[in-house]
Every structure is written in structure tokens, then in C-alpha cells.
């Protein structure tokens, strides 16, 4: 579209204040802004800043191009807005609505200013419509990226959180595994367990797999690797919590766990660990009764 | 895309130590985890030892790889002008050795790397390239 | 030339590998240690590798050799202090250090040697 022929930039520039007032009024009315944790003053500031940047950029171009430097400032502003709204709890469509809701006040202004020139009005309407659509979609894209970053960070945190190594007794550690074991998670699990063995000077570790839904060849290999690494460091592992189906699977898959001590329950494993450390549990009441 | 490749000689036992140190410095700089650092320097050590023992010495090229913000890695190319390897497949078998080692060198380095490439011609020399991504 | 120090603790010898091992050093350690076992009539050898940043097949073989040589000289060997990252890498490498006893640290290693010596083990791999 020919820039010289377009009436849009001049009209937006000239009526910037009226458009802003109308836009803010509409936004406050719609209640959309209340969805997240947003202050009214912040909404006003952001709206004003956006209109200012838009009016300024329109003087140069009316076609949005994310890679073009002319749009850099507006793009930067929208990215920031999208990220902050994402953390304030807005949905992507609510973020995009911020941009889309500007259509109505601008359309209104264009209709007044170009009442006698239907062709110019149609052109300007088309331009602003296309432009605001593009900008709205851009906020959605940024929002999604921000969300993905949050998710991948949470995944990493979850991996770390989900590998608690607990001390059952001085010198005896337990690692209750919960959920599916993939190779990335297993590496974290292995490292955590081995580091805790060194830090606590524990020579026995019980790996409890009660909470692991399935054991396939890969998971079994990971477990065996952990056991081997612990042995190289001078510690023994006992695997506990092997459910009947898992025992069957292990045999059907032809996985050899004969080099590892296995126990059905965590308490059996604990008893074995105590025995290996030369400790025993006795009942004090039984002794009293004779 | 790779920047700042360094070439180090592999002609003595002390050179092997220097190669390990250079690889560790680079892996640390790229933010490798301790385990990944250990894997790549162990692979480097195996190959450097091979270059020294079987290739009669040679050199290693250490490269930093950057493919986008999320993908960085270390690439090592060991090259010698030694007798070469007649049967590469056999040399890659665990436990096979013509020297005094455990015969785990080549295959061990392969297991510790994400990419492994070997070129050898009897009487000309051997070139082994490994890559480990972060 | 560097040498790996060998300390005497009663009837045991403690070798702390602190420097980056290279071939010549590994060879001289084997010489020094076998001489010292004979000279001190040591019954046990502790090799502390907690300062080693990696164990490749060469060092793995050296440790195996030391254990075998010591056994012939009627002393038992325990390798102590292997770092987690080193152990994980060794497993990945497919190296299991057969015939070598291990313990988490020097204390645990000494206790293991004590028990083995009191039982009068012949130095074979037990457990």
C-alpha cells in the first residue's frame, strides 16, 4: 500500500489523545484487564506508551514486519508487555485483546475524519485492521515463548525436586524414585545419590522403585549403571519395591539383575542394610515380657 | 560455526595431561556439567594416549562449536602419521589391543562422545574426530 | 621429576594421588610402591584417588596392576575416594576395575583392610 496515499498515520497522530481516552475507557469497561494482577495506572501508562509508539512508527510505515528495524521499538515494548502479562496471570487471548481493542476507537476516529471519502476510509480501515492483527498475533507468539521458558525451567526444577535422598540410618541412604525414569532424569538421580554417598560417608544405598510405573530395558540399564558406579566408589546398592508385574517384565526382557541385591519392600531392604552394617533391631517390650 | 580452534602437540605423557587441561578449560567455559566435563576429558585422554602409543605422536585440534544459543559443544580431532589401523572394526572392539592397554581406548572414546569419526590408512596415519554436545 | 608420596600407617601404606597422572609418574609409582611394600612388610595398601579428575583405561590398568603386584607381595589393596563423576564416566566407558576393592574414603578403606587382615583373607576379591 502506498504510504503517501494513506491517511491513517496523520489521523492517528492528530487524534492520539482522543483515541487514547476512548481506548482506556473501553478497556476499563470491558473488565478484561481485571483478569490478572494489573493496576489501573499501569494499564493507562501502557496504553499511552503503545499509542505513542504506534503513531510514531506509522509516520514511517503502515506494514508490520517483525524483522524491520522501524518496528524495533514497538516490538520491544510488546514483548515486554506480553512477558509481564504472562507472569501477571493473563491468558494469551487476553494479552492479544489489549492490542485488538484498539481497533474500535481508531475505526471511530477514521469514520469521523473520512466521512466524505469512502475509498480512503476503506483503505485506512484495512491498513489498521491488518496491522493490529499482526501486532496482536505477535504478542501471542512472545507469550508462548515466555511460557515455554517457564515450563522448561519448571521441568528442570521438578527433576531436582523429585530426587530426594534421605538418610535412613547413619551410613544408610534411601532414594525413593517416583515417576518415569528417562535418561536425563536418571543422570541427575545418579549424580545426586553418588554425591550424597560421598557427603555422608554412607556405604549402603537403598533405591526404592515402588513409585516407578514401568521398568523397561532402558530404565533397568540406568539402574544397573547407578549400582555399578556406586560399587566403584565403594558403596553397595539394594533395589527395593519391585512389584510382581515388574519382576515379570524384568525376566521377560532378559535383564540380568543378579549382580544386585533386590528386595520386595523398602523395609526388607532396610533390614538387609542394617544386617550388612552389623546392626539389628530388637523389641524392648518382648524382652520385658520375657 | 566454530571459533578459536587450538592445536596442541601430543608427543609425551605430559602433553596428554596438557590436552586434558585444555579440554577441561573449554568444557567448563561452555558450561558443561561436571559429569559431562569428566566424560569429554576422559575421551580426550584415551585418544591422546592412542595417538602417543600407537601413532608415535601427533597433534590434536580443539574446537569450540556453537550452533545457536542452545547447542554448544567440543570437537576434538586427533591426527598422527603413524602406521595406521588395518582393521578399524577390530580396533573398535572392546578388549582388542595391540599395545599394553585394556583395549578400551578407541571404543571407550566413542561411547563417551555424541559423534565419532575415524579415518585411517595403513602406512599413512590415523585421524579420529569426536564431538560432545552440551 | 614428580613422585607420588607414599605414607606409612602401621602395617598399611597410604598413597595419595594428587597430581595429574602421566605415564612416567604411573610407572615410577609402581616401582616405588612395590619396593616399599617389601621394605616395610606392609600388609595393606590404600590408594586415595579423591583428587583425580578422571580415570581413563590407562590409570584403570595401573590401579589393577598395583592391586595384582601387591597381592603377590601379600598385601591387599583398596582404592578409596573415587569421585561420583569419575565413577559415572567409568561405567559409561565400560570399565569395572575387576579385582579391585573400593571404599568411600580413607577411614572406610582402613576399616575394610583391618577386617580383611583380621579375617586373614588371602587377598582375593571378597564380597
What CATH number corresponds to the domain at position A195?
3.30.750.24
Which one of A184, A229, A236, A277 makes the best mutation probe of the C interface by having the most chain C beta carbons within 10 Å? A229
Same domain, A150 and A175: no
| Confidence tier at A282 by pLDDT (50, 70, 90) | confident
Give the residue-averaged pLDDT of A263-284. Answer: 91
In sequence order, which ranges of chain A are alpha helices (DSSP H)? Answer: 8-14, 16-30, 40-58, 72-88, 92-100, 103-113, 118-161, 183-200, 217-233, 244-252, 266-276, 284-289
pLDDT tens-digit map of A37-91: 778 888 889 999 999 999 888 888 878 877 788 888 888 999 998 888 888 888 8
Is A160 domain-assigned? no
d(CA A131, CA A127): 6
Is A3 domain-assigned? no
Same domain, A221 and A94: no
- Fold that domain C6-119 belongs to in CATH: Transcription Regulator spoIIAA (3.30.750)
Same domain, A121 and A190: no
Contact A235, A277 (CB under 8 A): no
Among candidates C123, C104, C108, C78, which has minimal Cα distance to A231?
C104
pLDDT tens-digit map of A3-32: 446 888 888 888 989 999 999 988 888 877
d(CA A234, CA A23): 71
Among candidates A106, A132, A131, which has minimal Cα distance to A121?
A106
Give the residue-averaged pLDDT of A283-287. Answer: 73
Paired residues of B119 in beta bridges: B127
**CA–CA min distance B70, chain A (Å):** 12
A171-180, B52-61, B98-107: lowest mean pLDDT where? B98-107
* pLDDT given for residue A1 in this prediction: 45
> Cβ C103–A230 below 8 Å, yes or no?
no
**CA–CA min distance C101, chain B (Å):** 19
* pLDDT given for residue A202 in this prediction: 95
pLDDT at B103 over 60: no
| Residue A208: how many other CB atoms lie within 10 Å | 21
d(CA A153, CA B21): 32
Cβ–Cβ contact B37 with C under 8 A: yes
Task: Map residue B50 onto helix, strand or coil.
Answer: helix
The parent domain of residue B100 ranges over 2-133
Is A151 domain-assigned? yes
* pLDDT given for residue C1 in this prediction: 57
Same domain, A180 and A85: no
Q: Provide the percentage of residues in chain A whose pLDDT is more than 90.
A: 34
d(CA C99, CA C121): 14
Give contacts of B33 with chain A, Cβ < 8 Å: 191
The parent domain of residue A78 ranges over 8-155
Contact B102, C60 (CB under 8 A): yes
Among candidates C72, C60, C64, which has minimal Cα distance to C99?
C64
> Cβ B112–C60 below 8 Å, yes or no?
no
> Cβ B46–C55 below 8 Å, yes or no?
no
- Domain with B6 in it: what CATH number? 3.30.565.10
**CA–CA min distance B35, chain A (Å):** 8
Which one of C58, C65, C83, C98 makes the best mutation probe of the B interface by having the most chain B beta carbons within 10 Å? C58
pLDDT at A289 over 90: no
Q: What does the H/E/C string look like for A107-135?
A: HHHHHHHCCCCHHHHHHHHHHHHHHHHHH
Same domain, A149 and A170: no
Give the residue-averaged pLDDT of A199-204. Answer: 94
**CA–CA min distance B32, chain A (Å):** 14
d(CA B82, CA A270): 56
* pLDDT given for residue B90 in this prediction: 80
> Cβ C56–B24 below 8 Å, yes or no?
no
Chains that touch A (3 or more CB pairs under 8 A): B, C
Q: If interface means Cβ-Cβ distance under 8 Å, which residues of chain C face chain B?
A: 20, 22-25, 53-58, 60-61, 83-86, 88-89, 92-95
* pLDDT given for residue B89 in this prediction: 80
To the nearest whole number, what is the mean pLDDT of chain B? Answer: 87
A37-41, B78-82, C7-11, C111-115: lowest mean pLDDT where? A37-41
Q: What angle do CA A231, A234, A235 make, to 5 degrees?
A: 70
Residue C70 grid coordinates: 601387591
Cβ–Cβ contact C27 with A under 8 A: no
- Order across the sheet with C101-103: list the strands: C6-9, C12-16, C44-48, C76-80, C101-103
* pLDDT given for residue B97 in this prediction: 60
Residue, of B98 and A142, whose pLDDT is higher: A142
d(CA A210, CA A233): 26
Same domain, A135 and A174: no
* pLDDT given for residue B101 in this prediction: 52
Exposed/middle/buried for A2, CB within 10 Å: 0-12, 13-18, 19+? exposed
Domain count for chain B: 1
Give contacts of B34 with chain C, Cβ < 8 Å: 85
pLDDT at A161 over 80: no
pLDDT tens-digit map of A133-143: 999 999 998 88
* pLDDT given for residue C126 in this prediction: 44
Q: What does the H/E/C string look like for A234-273?
A: CCEEEEECCCHHHHHHHHHCCCCCCCCEEECCHHHHHHHH
Domain count for chain A: 2
To the nearest whole number, what is the mean pLDDT of chain A? Answer: 86
* pLDDT given for residue A290 in this prediction: 47
Contact C81, C49 (CB under 8 A): yes
> Given the DSSP bridges, would you call strands B2-10 and A236-240 parallel, antiparallel or unpaired?
unpaired
A16, A18, A28, A178, B68 from A40: Cα distances, Å: 20, 18, 8, 45, 40
- Which residue in C24, C89, C95 is closest to B39 by CB distance? C89
Q: Count of alpha carbons within 13 Å of C46, Cβ hemisphere only?
A: 27
pLDDT tens-digit map of B21-70: 999 999 999 989 999 999 999 999 999 999 998 899 999 999 999 876 66
Give contacts of A197 with chain C, Cβ < 8 Å: 84, 104
Element holding B52 (H helix, E strand): helix B34-53
| Residue A71: how many other CB atoms lie within 10 Å | 21
Q: If interface means Cβ-Cβ distance under 8 Å, which residues of chain A face chain B?
A: 187, 191
pLDDT tens-digit map of A230-255: 999 999 999 999 888 888 888 888 88
Q: How far is CA C110 from the centre of its chain?
A: 12
Same domain, A173 and A125: no
Paired residues of B63 in beta bridges: B75
Contact B62, B74 (CB under 8 A): yes
d(CA B45, CA B18): 10
* pLDDT given for residue A4 in this prediction: 47
Same domain, A16 and A56: yes
Residue, of C46 and A160, whose pLDDT is higher: C46
Which one of B32, B34, B35, B39 makes the best mutation probe of the A interface by having the most chain A beta carbons within 10 Å? B35
Which residues 6+ apart lie within 8 Å of A246 measured at CB?
A209, A212, A214, A215
* 33-62 of B, contacting A, C-beta below 8 A: 33-35
Same domain, A108 and A197: no
* pLDDT given for residue B93 in this prediction: 76
Residue, of A156 and B130, whose pLDDT is higher: B130
Give contacts of C60 with chain B, Cβ < 8 Å: 102
Amino acid at each position: 500500500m502506498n504510504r503517501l496515499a494513506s491517511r491513517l498515520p496523520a489521523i492517528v497522530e492528530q487524534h492520539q489523545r482522543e483515541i487514547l481516552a476512548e481506548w482506556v475507557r473501553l478497556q476499563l469497561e470491558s473488565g478484561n484487564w481485571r483478569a490478572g494482577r494489573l493496576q489501573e495506572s499501569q494499564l493507562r501508562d501502557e496504553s499511552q506508551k503503545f499509542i505513542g509508539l504506534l503513531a510514531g512508527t506509522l509516520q514511517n510505515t503502515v506494514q508490520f514486519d517483525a524483522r524491520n528495524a522501524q518496528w524495533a521499538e514497538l516490538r520491544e515494548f510488546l514483548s515486554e508487555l506480553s512477558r509481564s502479562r504472562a507472569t501477571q496471570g493473563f491468558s494469551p487471548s487476553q494479552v492479544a485483546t489489549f492490542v485488538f481493542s484498539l481497533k474500535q476507537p481508531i475505526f471511530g476516529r477514521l469514520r469521523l475524519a473520512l466521512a466524505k471519502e469512502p475509498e480512503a476510509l476503506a483503505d485506512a480501515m484495512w491498513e489498521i485492521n491488518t496491522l493490529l492483527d499482526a501486532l496482536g498475533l505477535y504478542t501471542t507468539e512472545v507469550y508462548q515463548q515466555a511460557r515455554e521458558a517457564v515450563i522448561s525451567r519448571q521441568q528442570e526444577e521438578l527433576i531436582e525436586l523429585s530426587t530426594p535422598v534421605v538418610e535412613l540410618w547413619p551410613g544408610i541412604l534411601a532414594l525413593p524414585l517416583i515417576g518415569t525414569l528417562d535418561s536425563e532424569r536418571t543422570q541427575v538421580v545418579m549424580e545426586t545419590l553418588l554425591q550424597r554417598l560421598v557427603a555422608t560417608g554412607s556405604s549402603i544405598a537403598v533405591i526404592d522403585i515402588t513409585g516407578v510405573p514401568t521398568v523397561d530395558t532402558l530404565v533397568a540399564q540406568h539402574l544397573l549403571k547407578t549400582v555399578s558406579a556406586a560399587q566403584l566408589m565403594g558403596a553397595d546398592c539394594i533395589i527395593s519395591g519391585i512389584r510382581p508385574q515388574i519382576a515379570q517384565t524384568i525376566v521377560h526382557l532378559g535383564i540380568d539383575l543378579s549382580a544386585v541385591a533386590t528386595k520386595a519392600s523398602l523395609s526388607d531392604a532396610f533390614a538387609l542394610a542394617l544386617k550388612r552394617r552389623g546392626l539389628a533391631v530388637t523389641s524392648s517390650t518382648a524382652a520385658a515380657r520375657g | 560455526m566454530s571459533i578459536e580452534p587450538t592445536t596442541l602437540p601430543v608427543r609425551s605423557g605430559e602433553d596428554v595431561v596438557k590436552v586434558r587441561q585444555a579440554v577441561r578449560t573449554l568444557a567448563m567455559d561452555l558450561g558443561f556439567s561436571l559429569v559431562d566435563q569428566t566424560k569429554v576429558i576422559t575421551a580426550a585422554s584415551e585418544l591422546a594416549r592412542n595417538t602417543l602409543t600407537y601413532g608415535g605422536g601427533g597433534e590434536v585440534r580443539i574446537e569450540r562449536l556453537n550452533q545457536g544459543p542452545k547447542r554448544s559443544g567440543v570437537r576434538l580431532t586427533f591426527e598422527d602419521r603413524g602406521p595406521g589401523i588395518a582393521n578399524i572394526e577390530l580396533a573398535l572392539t572392546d578388549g582388542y589391543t595391540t599395545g599394553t592397554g585394556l583395549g578400551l581406548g578407541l571404543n571407550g572414546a566413542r561411547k563417551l562422545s555424541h559423534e565419532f569419526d575415524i579415518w585411517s590408512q595403513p602406512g599413512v596415519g590415523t585421524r579420529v574426530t569426536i564431538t560432545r554436545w552440551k | 621429576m614428580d613422585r607420588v608420596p607414599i605414607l606409612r600407617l602401621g602395617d598399611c601404606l597410604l598413597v595419595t594421588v594428587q597430581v595429574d597422572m602421566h605415564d612416567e609418574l604411573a610407572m615410577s609409582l609402581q616401582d616405588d610402591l612395590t619396593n616399599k611394600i617389601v621394605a616395610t612388610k606392609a600388609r595393606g595398601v590404600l590408594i586415595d584417588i579423591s583428587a583425580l579428575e578422571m580415570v581413563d583405561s590407562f590409570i584403570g590398568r595401573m590401579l589393577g596392576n598395583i592391586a595384582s603386584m601387591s597381592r603377590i607381595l601379600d598385601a591387599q589393596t583398596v582404592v578409596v575416594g573415587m569421585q561420583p563423576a569419575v565413577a559415572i564416566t567409568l561405567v559409561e566407558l565400560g570399565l569395572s576395575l575387576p579385582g579391585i576393592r573400593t571404599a568411600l574414603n580413607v577411614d572406610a578403606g582402613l576399616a575394610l583392610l583391618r577386617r580383611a587382615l583380621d579375617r586373614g583373607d588371602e587377598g582375593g576379591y571378597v564380597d
